[in-house]
Structures are given as C-alpha cells and as structure tokens.
Amino acid sequence: MSYTTDLIKNVSIAGHGGTGKTTLFERLLFAGGVIPKAETVESGKTVGDSSPEEVERKISIHTALAHVERNGKKINLFDTPGSSDFIGDVILSFRASEFAILTVDGRAGVQIETIKLWRNLEGREKPRGIFITKLDDERGDYQNTLDDIREKFKITPVPITIPMGNGAAYQGVINVLNEKAYFVQGDAGGTLEKEGAVPAEYADALAAARERLIEAAAEGDDSLMEKYIDKGSLDAEEMHRGLIEALAEHKFVPAFAGVALKNSGLIPFLDFIADIGPNPKTARDISVGEDGTKTDISIDPDKPMAALVIKTSYDQFSGKLSWIKVIRGKLTADTEAQNVSENKKERIGKIYTCQGKKLEEVREFYAGDVGIISKSATLKTNDTLSDGSGSISFIHLRLPEPVHSVAVNAAAKKDDDKLGEFLVRAAEEDKTFRYQYNTETKETVISGMGELQVNIILDKIKQNQKIEVETHVPHVAYRETITKKAGAEYTHKKQTGGHGQYGKVLLEIAPLPRGENYQFINAIFGGAIPKNYIPGVEKGVLEGMAAGTMAGYPVVDVEVKVVDGKYHPVDSSELAFKLAARNAFREAMRQAAPTLLEPIMNLTVFVEDKYLGDVMSDLSGKRGKIQGQSSVGGGIEEIKAQVPQAELLRYSIDLRSITSGTGSFSVEFDHYAPISGKISEDVIKAAQAFRVQESEE
C-alpha cells in the first residue's frame, strides 16, 4: 500500500546504548500489529537487531527500518545503534526523518552519546522529543530525569505522557493530550496497555501538565498566543493546530515516559506521532548543490521525481538493497530513471517497504516516504535519482572522521582481491568505515569510528569471507623537511662503450612555510642545461623527495632551484640529468639540517568529570597540548587538545579503559610538526627495521 506525502511520518529513535531503543521499536511494532509477538533483545529475535553480528553481540550495529500504521498515517521508524562506533547509521537516519526521539534511561539520566546526538540534531534544526525509559526499575526516577534533561539540554521538556508510579508500583502512563490513563496489563508483555479514566490522585499532576501543553501550543503562532493571553486557554482544535506548528518549528520538546518491556506508553506515543508529529514537508536539512553552492529544498510531491539514496545494505537473501528517501514527486516500480550522480540510466525494477529484514513489494512511493530498491545496477549511498528532467543533486551526508585504524593484509597473496572486494562493500555499507592502501608504508589501513566497528569488520573478514589476515598498528606517515638553505652539485658521468652518459646539476634548496609542499624553479641562464633536459632534472628532484634521506619518508615544504649545470652534446640525456639531480638533491638535503615531521591531530574528548584528571594526565603523557576545557553541563566535560598521531593510534582503547567505556572522542588531522631527539631517533630506527624486514620477505 502506498501513502501520500500528507500521511507519512518519519521518526528516528536514537540515544545512548542500552537505553531501550530496540525494545521500544519492537514494542511499537507489536502495538501497531506488525508483529504478533514482541521478542526481547536478549533472545536475539527482535526486528531491530536481526543481523548475525547483532544477534551475537546483543547490541544494535545497523539502523533498522520498519513502519506501523496509526490513525491512517504511515509511521516509518528507524531503530539506530547507540554506540558511537556506528554513528554513521544514526546520522543518516536523522537526515531521513523529520522527528527524532532520544531515549533516556530513567535511572541514569542523559548520557554522553545522547548529548552528542542532541548537538547533531541542533545543527539540523530537527524537531525532537525525549522518551524516558525503565521507570519500572526501582532506581528509575522520572522527576530526576526531567531535571537532568533540563540541565544538560537547557530546555524545559513538555510532558505528553506522565508515569503513574515508579519501580514495582509502576502502573502505566497518563496521556496529557486526551486526558486518559493507560494501564499496564500484566507483566509478561504479551498484552497491550488498556485505556481508562485517570485515577483521582493524578488529577493535579495532569492539570499542571495540561497547562504546560497549552502554553506550548500557544507558541505555535501569533494568533493562538493572542487568544491564549486573552482567554487563558485554547480549545481542542486550536491546541492541536498549535502543537503541530510549534513542534515542526522545534519550539518545544515533548517528553514521553513508558516501559516498553511492559507495553506501556506506546499508544499515546504513536497517537502523538500520527496526529502531531512533523510532516515530511517541514524537513529543513535537505540540500542540493554542486561546486560549493548549497540550497535547501523542501519535500514536494508536486515536482518531478527526485530521490536520495540514504543507505546501502547487503542482505544474505535479497542481495544489494538501496534505501531511498523520495524527496520530490513519486517513485514508481518498473520505470526508467536517471542516476544523476553517476550520469547513468537506472532501471527501477521492484520497490519495497520493509519491516526489518522482511520486504513487501509496493507500486510506488510518494515524496517523503522511505523505501527500498533491490539489486540496483548503479546506485550508491548519497546518489541522486531523478526522472531525468531536472538536474538537482543532493549534498552528501556529512559524517565525522574515523578515529581508529588498523593495518591489515591477507596472509595469502591469493586472497588479496577477495579482501579488496569485501572492503569496497563494507565501506559502502557504512560510510564512516574507510580503507586505503598506503603506498608509502605499503599497507592497507582500515579505519572506523572505534575499535568495535573495526573488530566487527575484521570478524566478518575472518568468519564470513574465510580470509586469514594479519593485523598491526598502522605506521604513522612521517615527513621530512629542511631547516636551512643549502646547495650542492653532482655530475653523473658514465662511459660504457658506445654512448656515454653525462649531466651536471647544481641545486639550491630552501625551506618553505609548512604545508606549501614543493616549488621547483628553473633559474638556469644561458643554456647551461638545455630546456629539454629540465623535465629530467625535475623528475630526479621528485624522486629524491619521495625517497627522503633520513628514514624513507617523503620530503615536503622545500623550494628547489636549479641554478647551474653542464651538458655534453652527444652523451647527455634526460636520464643522465635525472640521476644527477637526484644525487645533487640528496647531497643538498644532507647540508640543509633535515628534520622529521610528525602529524599532529586535533582531539576532542567528552568525559564525565570524575575522569577529567586521569584523561588530562594521560594526554600530557602523550605529548598532548591542552587547548581548552569546558563543561557541557550535567557533569560532562569537553577537552580540546593537540596530540601527535603517533600517540593516538590506540586511543580508543586507552580512553575506554580510563573511563570505563563512558568517554568518547573525535580526531582530525591538523598539521605537521618537527620532532627531534629520542623520538626522532626511534622513528628512524623503526623505519630501518621495517625496511630490513621488507627486504627479507
């Protein structure tokens, strides 16, 4: 069945790991009649955690998509992973939805990953709500959790559902919107909550919450606000309209409470999304552009078809699946379309909605909906699909840079190609995962958002692909540069029967500012070296630069000037000048006080304040320079530092052990800086050892 734009809602469920997202997702599908029985995460049979790696580890690794119908609306739900290792799948689902629900554990309050996700949503101006979970636990505390949310997010959440009781006394929730109570039916979780009258003891709490909700609705537009100030209230229709408008503009943050494990708090939640939740047309973070331009566009069913590939996954049975969000017009099965990004025709065959892994064929998708194209020939994540009439191209999703890398190589040469193919696919499935063959250090380096993500890929290589691999900590890409001017000459001369070889080159080299890499200047006067041999000279210089002189790392940030030379009318050749230049360069380098450079990274760490001291002293032991430290609120600190990459190769492991797994970080390359003394000597020694080992192989 197909739903028109006005009948579609897209909701991401996100938040710190273990807060109850997958359980909530499962129970919403049960409440919506999609599955006859809800399973637990521990059983490994939930709709959300269905891949072999999720079943094995009992955590979410990939975003799952399913939908329920409620009040005539199709609600697409994304169950996202909580670990920062899989942030890529969370961010892609944020882009694909107009409403994000952050789950907050009612015992632990707002945790680090949730704060980071909140910031991401802030940047997207995305309407969002909060779902407080686990209130059936003795340690659950609704009021404390609300206070914590207020403090950490600097907002006052507006309760839509409020819990009745806590811990063992938990009975259910009250829906502030329709002023009804929803009671838990038994503990087993096989029955849905039941609607009833609000117990008298909650009358005051309800009245207060109702007042706050009406205020939130009055924010919807000016006329409602006037009316509210005038009359002190709004009627049901006004309230409804006001809430829709205020939420679409993120003027308030609705807060829900519930215990998914007891099927509690689900019906009011689904009703709210169906009736009040933002419509796709209100999305603000869809942009098109090319060559640096960027324009925001809105979802519009009345324009020619355009769709965006939000994700690619590979299913054991169904093969390659391209997840599509239709932005304009409608996407129809069995049609011709254009892959704008690849500039190729794409034949659209069958299209599907999905309930987790289960695909259901449909005829068409309207703008705003999310669905799946199977076995597409050309589609990749981030590609734009159109009917060929327009030339819009969607801007790629912005993702954080990988923070953890491991070098891998196949134990047997014959597996090289197979490993390569697997890595291509893995990088397409998760855009935060990268691989690169480093020609300098001659290793394939795979990188991801943390050790967990990288280890899961390594497991798949070994277990599914049956490729034996060796892994090690990647080599750092050091560089070499000079610290003063120098000059040198070299004559390449050889007489071996027949033709001889002759070329003489005199070079001057000088340091360039950091990051300028290389400049070649031909300063020859009067034809000491004929013009046609100059390219040979430059080739020789470039070879010399690539080889380095200290430890085999490339030379950067030098100006090379050819000032003089000599040639022979018969024996000179490009090759002779290349060899002369290469040797002259090496000689000049020796006299120019060369030094090694190491990459310095910008590091941002989030930690609970109790770990602040340990993290700081660890960073100073890692030669880090602290650049700033600030409180994010609620006991969470953000540290900014510059740290040599060589010290950060295993930082995801180190930080995890310092902070008992609660800390998280991001890194990006900033600049190269000189190293000297023991550190430099060690790098040179390691490089020599590496080369000896290589030549023995």
Ligand X SMILES: Nc1nc2c(ncn2[C@@H]2O[C@H](COP(=O)(O)OP(=O)(O)O)[C@@H](O)[C@H]2O)c(=O)[nH]1
The residue (of 50 and 287) whose beta carbon lies closer to Mg ion is: 50
Give residue 228's identity as a one-letter amino acid code.
Y
The residue (of 22 and 680) whose beta carbon lies closer to ligand X is: 22
Tokens standing for residue 274: 């169906």
Partner from Mg ion, ligand X, none contacting 134, C-beta within 5 to 8 A by type = ligand X
Angle between helices 87-96 and 112-123 (to 10 degrees): 40
First to last CA, the chain: 61
Q: CA 401, 95, 306 angle in degrees (round to 5)?
A: 115
Neighbours of 237 (CB within 10 A): 8
Partner from ligand X, Mg ion, none contacting 19, C-beta within 5 to 8 A by type = ligand X
Which residues 6+ apart lie within 8 Å of 183 measured at CB? 164, 171, 172, 193, 194, 196
Tokens standing for residue 63: 């975003």
Size of the site for ligand X (CB under 6 A): 21
Is residue 84 close enough to count as binding ligand X by CB under 6 A?
A: no
- Cα 247 to Cα 144, 253, 257: the distances in Å are 24, 7, 18
Q: Which of residues 430-469 bind ligand X (CB under 6 A)?
A: none
Is residue 171 close enough to count as binding ligand X by CB under 6 A?
A: no
Contact indicator for 466, 420 with CB cutoff of 8 Å? no
Is residue 54 close enough to count as binding ligand X by CB under 6 A?
A: no
Phi, psi of 57 (to 5 degrees): -95, -10
Contact indicator for 468, 476 with CB cutoff of 8 Å? no
Is residue 259 close enough to count as binding ligand X by CB under 6 A?
A: yes
Neighbours of 202 (CB within 10 A): 17
Neighbours of 637 (CB within 10 A): 20
Is residue 133 close enough to count as binding ligand X by CB under 6 A?
A: yes
CB 16, min distance to Mg ion, A: 10
The residue (of 19 and 444) whose beta carbon lies closer to ligand X is: 19
Is residue 21 close enough to count as binding ligand X by CB under 6 A?
A: yes
The residue (of 139 and 347) whose beta carbon lies closer to ligand X is: 139
Closest CA to 599 of 474, 508, 454, 460: 474
The residue (of 190 and 319) whose beta carbon lies closer to ligand X is: 190
Partner from ligand X, Mg ion, none contacting 431, C-beta within 5 to 8 A by type = none
**Does an H or E element contain 53, and which?**
helix 52-57
For residue 665, what are the β-bridge partners? 605
CB 46, min distance to Mg ion, A: 8
Exactly one of 20, 129, 220, 544 binds ligand X (CB under 6 A); which one? 20
The residue (of 132 and 588) whose beta carbon lies closer to ligand X is: 132
Burial of 143 (0-12, 13-18, 19+ CB in 10 A): exposed
Is residue 60 close enough to count as binding Mg ion by CB under 5 A?
A: yes
The residue (of 64 and 135) whose beta carbon lies closer to Mg ion is: 64
- Reduced to 3 DSSP states, what percent helix, strand and coil does the chain have, rounded to the nearest 5? 35, 35, 35
Is residue 11 close enough to count as binding ligand X by CB under 6 A?
A: no
CB 134, min distance to ligand X, A: 4
CB 132, min distance to Mg ion, A: 17
Contact indicator for 72, 66 with CB cutoff of 8 Å? no
Is residue 40 close enough to count as binding ligand X by CB under 6 A?
A: yes
Of the candidate spans 18-26, 146-154, 223-231, 538-546, the one that interacts with Mg ion by CB under 5 A turns out to be: 18-26
Of the candidate spans 56-64, 369-377, 388-396, 668-676, the one that interacts with Mg ion by CB under 5 A turns out to be: 56-64
Give residue 501's identity as a one-letter amino acid code.
Q
Is residue 109 close enough to count as binding ligand X by CB under 6 A?
A: no
Exactly one of 22, 76, 264, 645 binds Mg ion (CB under 5 A); which one? 22
Is residue 381 close enough to count as binding Mg ion by CB under 5 A?
A: no
Partner from ligand X, Mg ion, none contacting 18, C-beta within 5 to 8 A by type = ligand X
Give residue 32's identity as a one-letter amino acid code.
G
Angle between helices 451-463 and 416-429 (to 10 degrees): 140
The residue (of 163 and 663) whose beta carbon lies closer to ligand X is: 163
Is residue 111 close enough to count as binding ligand X by CB under 6 A?
A: no
CB 143, min distance to ligand X, A: 17
Contact indicator for 28, 266 with CB cutoff of 8 Å? yes
Contact indicator for 299, 327 with CB cutoff of 8 Å? yes
Partner from Mg ion, ligand X, none contacting 544, C-beta within 5 to 8 A by type = none
Neighbours of 271 (CB within 10 A): 18
Of the candidate spans 20-28, 123-131, 212-220, 495-503, the one that interacts with ligand X by CB under 6 A turns out to be: 20-28
CB 26, min distance to Mg ion, A: 9
Is residue 137 close enough to count as binding ligand X by CB under 6 A?
A: yes
**Does an H or E element contain 511, and which?**
strand 500-511
Closest CA to 160 of 250, 286, 252, 234: 252
Partner from Mg ion, ligand X, none contacting 282, C-beta within 5 to 8 A by type = none
Is residue 101 close enough to count as binding ligand X by CB under 6 A?
A: no
Cα separation, 448 vs 446, whole angstroms:
7
Interface map 587-626 toward Mg ion (x if CB under 5 A):
----------------------------------------
> What radius of gyration, in Å, describes the C-alpha atoms of the chain?
31
Is residue 136 close enough to count as binding ligand X by CB under 6 A?
A: yes
Of the candidate spans 37-45, 92-100, 207-215, 637-645, the one that interacts with ligand X by CB under 6 A turns out to be: 37-45
Residue ranges in contact with Mg ion by CB under 5 A? 21-22, 60
Residue ranges in contact with ligand X by CB under 6 A? 17-23, 40-42, 59-60, 82, 103, 133-134, 136-137, 259-261
